[in-house]
């Protein structure tokens, strides 16, 4: 009982200073990771957390956050300017895995090639929950924010089939699904979007009808939106699609249809999404971080830092070559790719299928990557977002002041 009392008091205390902390280099994931570690070291966590609880909470959190992030995207603008996220997903993500594999074989020469590739795939997905100070910062222009949200929303779903296939290669005793892994991967990336778009469209139309006829009201809408996110995830999973991609796609079409007419949906679900995110990082800090830190080696730390500081920035820079993304934007995108819930959750999903030594290496690398990324990205998020926004604004002003080409006018011509 004392454990629950201390936890609720700590949560309430954070909420009282949350707005002020959001203006500093201290982020909510950093606070709750640290709080979890503190609870573990003080012995307060014994009756609160288990690895199974973390697995469940992290999965629910990822689904809800993917749905919410997608629901707030301006689909019209995304259709008009989709090059950046498309390049980062279709070129940048594979490059992250390939370059990360090379880095793993160099920094951990005793690790088999397939295990190095598996580590690279686990460290490739990014997490918007750790990038909230960036994607919610009004100083950052809409287009870069939208690109980061779309990338972080879809890259974990695209990475998951690769992670499962590499897990099979690392642990041949794991049975392949019916039809083989190639068919499994195709179903994941096709059925997931189809189910998500269908569920989101139908749910949005039903909600708008229910509002119009008075069958529902604001108090029920947020709960319905959470149920929608879960429905898209579960429906896709049942038929072999990727549930995470489905949740994101459901949010994308749902938000496009109800935008401006169901504001309470976002107010309600955003609060619950934040709470789930905090709970996930707290449980991670309490259950997994202490052991992971105890097994952090120099090669592991170098691999993580290389992934954060070199692999992703290089992959994103190359993927955006030839686009209208200037060097500052490419560097900004490369830096803000925090590893978070997806990396931890996917590691938890596969470790039971690996040999004892391998599952410890995989899990400890993933969890150490999450807390290191939370600290590095957290302390730089707000300052870098302000700097990037100011730089983009300064660059836009000279363009606006350039003289118009000869023969053009700024308004209607009289007479």
**Domain at 355, CATH number:** 1.20.1530.20
Q: Which of 58, 95, 48 is nearest to 311 (CA)?
A: 95
What was the pLDDT predicted at 330? 94
Q: Is residue 349 part of a domain?
A: yes
Q: Which of 196, 191, 135 is nearest to 161 (CA)?
A: 191
CA dist list (Å): 46 to 111, 115, 364: 34, 33, 21
Q: Is residue 58 part of a domain?
A: yes
Q: How far apart are CA 164 and CA 390, in angstroms?
A: 42
Q: Which of 199, 256, 200 is nearest to 78 (CA)?
A: 256
Q: Is residue 26 part of a domain?
A: no
Q: What is the pLDDT along the chain (415 residues), one digit of tens a residue?
A: 666 677 788 888 888 887 787 777 788 888 889 988 988 888 776 655 577 788 888 888 888 888 887 887 888 777 788 899 999 999 999 999 999 999 999 999 999 999 999 999 999 988 765 666 677 777 788 888 888 888 888 888 888 888 888 888 887 655 566 677 677 778 888 999 999 999 999 999 999 898 888 888 777 887 888 899 999 999 999 998 989 889 989 999 998 898 877 766 666 666 777 888 888 888 899 889 999 999 999 999 999 999 999 999 999 999 999 999 999 999 999 988 777 788 988 898 888 777 777 888 999 999 999 999 988 888 888 788 888 888 887 876 554 444 444 444 434 333 3
- How many CB atoms sit inside 10 A of residue 412's CB? 5
Q: Is residue 215 part of a domain?
A: yes
Q: Is residue 344 part of a domain?
A: yes
| pTM of the predicted structure, to 2 decimals | 0.83
- For the chain, what is the domain count? 1
- Record the tokens describing residue 53, joined without a space: 């609880």
Provide, for the chain, the percentages of residues in helix, strand and coil under a 3-state DSSP scheme, each rounded to the nearest 5.
80, 0, 20
Q: Is residue 9 part of a domain?
A: no
Token pair 């999965």 is found at 59
Question: Is there a contact between 344 and 366 (Cβ–Cβ < 8 Å)?
Answer: yes
Q: 297 lies in which domain range?
A: 49-389
Under DSSP, the state recorded for 49 is -
């Amino acid at each position: 009982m004392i454990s629950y009392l201390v936890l609720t008091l700590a949560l309430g205390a954070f909420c009282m200073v949350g707005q002020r902390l959001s203006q500093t280099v201290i982020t909510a994931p950093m606070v709750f990771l640290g709080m979890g570690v503190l609870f573990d070291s003080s012995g307060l966590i014994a009756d609160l957390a288990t690895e199974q609880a973390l697995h469940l909470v992290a999965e629910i959190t990822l689904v809800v956050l993917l749905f919410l992030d997608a629901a707030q995207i301006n689909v019209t603008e995304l259709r008009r300017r989709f090059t950046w996220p498309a390049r980062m997903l279709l070129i940048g993500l594979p490059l992250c895995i390939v370059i990360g594999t090379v880095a793993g074989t160099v920094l951990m020469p005793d690790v088999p090639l397939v295990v190095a590739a598996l580590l690279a795939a686990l460290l490739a997905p990014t997490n918007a929950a750790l990038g909230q100070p960036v994607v919610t910062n009004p100083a950052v222009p809409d287009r870069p924010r939208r690109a980061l949200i779309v990338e972080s929303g879809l890259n974990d779903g695209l990475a998951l089939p690769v992670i499962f296939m590499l897990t099979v290669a690392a642990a041949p005793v794991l049975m392949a699904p019916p039809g083989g892994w190639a068919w499994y991967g195709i179903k994941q990336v096709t059925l997931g979007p189809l189910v998500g778009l269908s569920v989101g469209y139908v749910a949005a139309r039903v909600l708008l009808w229910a509002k119009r006829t008075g069958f529902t009201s604001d108090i029920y809408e947020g709960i319905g939106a959470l149920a929608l996110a879960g429905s898209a995830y579960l429906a896709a999973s049942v038929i072999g699609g990727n549930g995470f991609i489905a949740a994101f796609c459901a949010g994308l079409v749902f938000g496009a249809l109800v935008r401006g007419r169901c504001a309470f949906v976002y107010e309600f679900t955003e609060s619950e999404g934040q709470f789930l995110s905090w709970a996930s990082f707290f449980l991670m800090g309490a259950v997994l971080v202490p052991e992971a830190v105890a097994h952090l080696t120099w090669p592991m730390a170098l691999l993580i830092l290389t992934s954060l500081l070199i692999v992703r920035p290089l992959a994103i820079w190359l993927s955006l070559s030839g686009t209208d993304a200037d060097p500052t934007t490419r560097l900004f995108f490369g830096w803000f790719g925090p590893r978070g819930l997806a990396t931890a959750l996917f590691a938890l999903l596969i470790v039971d299928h690996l040999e004892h030594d391998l599952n410890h290496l995989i899990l400890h690398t993933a969890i150490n990557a999450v807390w290191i990324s939370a600290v590095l990205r957290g302390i730089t998020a707000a300052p870098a977002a302000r700097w990037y926004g100011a730089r983009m604004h300064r660059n836009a002003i000279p363009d606006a002041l350039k003289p118009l080409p000869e023969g053009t006018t700024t308004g209607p011509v009289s007479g």
